[in-house]
Structure 1
């Protein structure tokens, strides 16, 4: 029964978020109230807030996945692969596979327009980037076994997230300029390849996982 309850809760959460996102994309974030979302989703306002404590959570409902993704790539890196290589490889794979979270889904220009037309959403996106970088720095330090007071993980995380941020901004600008997904992906890969050449050998080799045997 617990499994069924959890599935139903997740279905309700997804339904509310999907309805809200549709309204935001149609009318803009600030023009839609939580009460209107509740009515359209056929739930109470209290139910909406039970699943989404803040209105911004309705639009950015996968924040935790975004924050955790680079760290998860570090933790699951292959033998012989360094932590930065794992992060950049994951980003390259996302682009090659045209993943929507990399800004390569059809209609992404509407998401960008809504996100950057609402100050509270823009602020939330900036905070998400900060959290992602902080989480990655912690993971890097743990995986490398850095002693307390060693700040390399902090600065390496900053460099990696600067690369990711620049590549993602390219997707957003291309979407607003009405580029095709294929054209956008090609430019993103070019920029990513260039960024990799600008990282120092010490950064690229950081926290390399030993090869067994």
Structure 2
């Protein structure tokens, strides 16, 4: 029997409208934050620019920082989903290597390998509140990955291994992204840094592979194997 991930239910019109409103408010807020600086923009400024009430903004976002990091909760929770959906025979290191390289190919924003990442990074670094929030999300991401690894491997509650592996994987990706953003802030173009960025990613994951490469390998897909053999 194979592990199957149930497709997400299709969203109704009301939910789609709510998500669109949330994204629009966040996009407008992010534009204001990057232009003026996070600490120089109020919730009232965001509400006025988005043509909604202050209460409406708070209906969608608990804090001002959440307006800027509007997809972080989704990314944190997505870590567990990525692990569950890894390919048969794929270790946790192989999974995150593959996903990081794919994200570079797509110029996905979590990697920093996209136009404007230096503007985003400067906005964060110029605000103590955003720096603190970013650190909080980092801790949440490590903790969620450790929990998912413990669930996948059946680790005992006092087993430190899932926490160590999660910390190593998170640290590797954090340093890779930091290097990319640092290069952007120094004036390099995506084209100029491309070869180095990919080489660094493979080098870092090679290091992880040699240390924890056989940890959390998903069992073979016995259902597919039995079907192929006619059992």
Deviations 1:78-101 (A, max 9, x none): 011112211221112111222122
The yes-or-no answer on 1:88 pairing with 2:97 is yes
The alpha carbon displacement at 1:71 in A equals 2.5
Deviations 1:91-150 (A, max 9, x none): 121112221221122111111110110000011111111100000001111111112321
Deviations 1:181-200 (A, max 9, x none): 13334322222222223226
Structure-2 residue corresponding to 1:151 = 160
Structure-2 residue corresponding to 1:102 = 111
In structure 2, runs of 5+ residues without a counterpart are 1-10, 226-231
1:21–1:58: 8 Å Cα contact kept in structure 2? yes
The yes-or-no answer on 1:56 pairing with 2:65 is yes
In structure 1, runs of 5+ residues without a counterpart are none
Number of residue equivalences: 212
Structure 2 SS opposite 1:208: coil
TM superposition score normalised by structure 2: 0.87
Deviations 1:53-78 (A, max 9, x none): 10001111001122123322211110
Q: CA RMSD in A?
A: 1.5
TM superposition score normalised by structure 1: 0.94
CA distance in 1, matches of 2:100, 2:79: 9
1:144–1:206: 8 Å Cα contact kept in structure 2? no
CA distance in 1, matches of 2:86, 2:145: 14
Higher Rg of the two aligned structures: 2
1:84–1:204: 8 Å Cα contact kept in structure 2? yes
2:149–2:162: 8 Å Cα contact kept in structure 1? yes
User: Which residue of the other structure, out of 112, 121, 127, is the alignment partner of 1:112?
Assistant: 121
Pair 1:179–1:122, CA change in 2 (3 A): same
CA distance in 1, matches of 2:33, 2:209: 42
Structure-2 residue corresponding to 1:39 = 48
Structure-2 residue corresponding to 1:16 = 25
1:96–1:185: 8 Å Cα contact kept in structure 2? no
2:93–2:208: 8 Å Cα contact kept in structure 1? no
Pair 1:68–1:186, CA change in 2 (3 A): farther
Structure-2 residue corresponding to 1:5 = 14
CA distance in 1, matches of 2:180, 2:49: 31
Structure-2 residue corresponding to 1:162 = 171
1:108–1:172: 8 Å Cα contact kept in structure 2? yes
More displaced, 66-75 or 104-113? Answer: 66-75
